[in-house]
Structure 1
Amino acid sequence: MTTGLSRRLLAIVAVLICGIVVAHVFLWRSDMATSAKLAFTVLNAVSWTIIIAPVFLVDKWLASVRSRSRQEPRDDKASE
């Protein structure tokens, strides 16, 4: 089950990806040299991967930490 924040984040990422795809379609339909189109496409894909990948990785990490916290209640008596 996803929370409202996760759904909102997913919606934002989906809109960004759609915008990127549309921009690439216009790029590839332009009259630039094919080598320049390919260079821009690779640069853009690598840049967005560097930006978006940590968002998903941190989200997964946070979900696992929260899940572990719910499953294993903290035992304060063990530290005494």
Structure 2
Amino acid sequence: MDIIVLGVLEFNSIAVGIKALDGIVKAASVKVIDARTICPGKFVVLFTGNVAAVDASLTAGKEIGEGYIVDELFIPNLHSQI
């Protein structure tokens, strides 16, 4: 059974969210599951990969989006039935 690792960042600026998305995929080898606006003016990025890659990408996204992050989530061992 594969270990499922999940990272999520929510931004209160679409432009900053897109810029952070660029940094997230360039920081480490992660797969973007979803990246989109969720309501007027907000942007969310959901991505997966191995633990180190997701952690590195999450850190990169937080640095780029500093001051614009609404919420963040890092789950290093998500149950496969979720």
TM-score normalised by L of structure 1: 0.29
More helix, by proportion: 1
More strand, by proportion: 2
Larger Rg: 1
Structure with more relative contact order (C-alpha pairs < 8 Å, separation 6 or more): 2
TM-score normalised by L of structure 2: 0.29
